[in-house]
Structure 1
Amino acid sequence: MNLIKKSVLGLGLMTVGLVSAQNSDMKNMIKIGANVGLAVPAENASAVAGIDVSYQNLVTPGFGLGIATGYSHFFGRENNGIDNNDFGVVPVAALIRIYPKQTGFYLGTDLGYGFIVGDDKVASNDPTNKERPDGGFYIKPEVGYHNKDWNFAVQYQKTFTGDKGEIGTQKYSAGAIGVGVGYNIPLGK
């Protein structure tokens, strides 16, 4: 947990540094959003709900780079007698966005590391007492619609955990497909 606190603090300091280093020509923004979805595959979780926070700089009018974080809560489910625990994913990622037009269709992804947090055990009734993974490579591709203030997207998020957290034939999955909405807060005048 200490590593997560340090990562979030570091991300916050980077954001403050990037924001204060930029001018006020409306090409920098903070994005705040929410997402919901279904876990895929739905072996150890059923659904996900989360919040997103990111900083974006429009390098060119059609291309944005930044940093992203947030929290996604995966709701554990019963699977063949295994009572899987809830868990969360806290990403620390680079944000990449492509905007073909000033408003309309866009696509992008977040790439980085997803920290898995929550109960130390995969399931509450697992006789092998299998520990959950700590995290892994994180990706969140999305396609959506944007205007000056809002973003609406269909997205997939996945934290790759390898074979960590498997119980018998049940694989551990921290992936979901869903929808998200975000509000853009411009920095500057």
Structure 2
Amino acid sequence: MKKLVLAGAFALFGGLAQAQEGFRLGGHIGAPLGDAADAASVTLGIDAAYMWNITKGLDIGAATGYSHFFGKDNVDDFGFIPLAVSGKYTFNKVPLFVGLDLGAAISTRNYINSGLYVAPRVGYQMKKVELYLGFQNIGSKYKNYGPGPDPRWNRNDRFNFGAVNFGANFFLK
């Protein structure tokens, strides 16, 4: 019985040691969509996550980063810092994956509220790198601070700051 318990413990800890967990660090470039397209010309960002392998093909973790929207037509640059739960499923026998980040995005400007963050993506999985095409959306509210250069942005209303992104992430262990 003692040998069986010892063998089980080695199998359990050996399996944990083989788990595919670690840091994912990368960046993205994108084209703003929705209300963000009225205010920004391009978005650049960095992505970071720590992922745990739950079962074969399924990784779950915590993600953050920064997305910077470059303003156009007298609109200041603005950005968001997402704090999200990240999930990724890699298909068996093909190097493709689908993923989703869901959480909150903290605004870096005092005139834009923080909001709900949703970022689905599809991509190509290599051993140490993933390339992806994704969509990010931040449902937020623009705070009315009086008249400004653009009447579209001078109301107390809900906005969707979105972008279609192309990115690359690198796995660090």
Fold conserved between structures, TM > 0.5: yes
1:182 maps to a residue whose letter is N
Aligned CA-pair RMSD:
2.0
Q: How many residues align?
A: 148
Q: CA deviation at 1:77?
A: 0.8
Counterpart of 2:133 in structure 1 is 154
2:40 to 22, 45, 48: 45
Q: Which of 76, 86, 92 is the equivalent residue of 2:83?
A: 92
TM-score by length of 1: 0.72
Counterpart in 2 of 1:169? 152
Write the deviation string for residues 43-96 of structure 1: whole angstroms up to 9, x where unpaired. Answer: 011110000010011101111100000011100111xxxx11101110000001
Q: Residues 102 and 95 of structure 1: is their aligned pair in 2 closer, same or farther, counting only changes over 3 Å?
A: farther
Q: Secondary structure at the match of 2:51?
A: strand
Give the corresponding residue for 2:103.
Answer: 112
Secondary structure of 1:169 counterpart: helix
Where in structure 1 are there 5+ consecutive unaligned residues?
A: 1-22, 121-131
Distance (whole Å) between structure 1 residues aligned to residue 93 and residue 108 of structure 2 = 38
Shift of 1:103: 5.5
- For 1:61, which of 56, 60, 63 is the aligned residue? 56
Deviations 1:9-32 (A, max 9, x none): xxxxxxxxxxxxxx5324111000
Counterpart-to-counterpart distance in 2, 1:57 and 1:147: 17
Larger radius of gyration: 2
Is the alpha carbon distance of 1:95 and 1:156 closer, same or farther for their aligned partners in structure 2, counting shifts above 3 Å? Answer: same
CA distance in 2, matches of 1:102, 1:60: 15
Write the distance in 2 (CA, Å) between the matches of 1:46 and 1:172. Answer: 16
> Structure 2 unaligned runs (5+)?
1-15, 145-149
Structure 1 counterpart of 2:112, which letter?
P
Aligned residues with identical type, % of pairs: 28
Contact in 2 for aligned 1:62/1:102 (Cα 8 Å): no
TM-score of the superposed pair, with normalisation by structure 2:
0.78
Q: Of residues 94, 99, 114 in structure 2, which corresponds to 1:135? A: 114
Question: Which of 10, 27, 30 is 2:23 aligned to?
Answer: 30
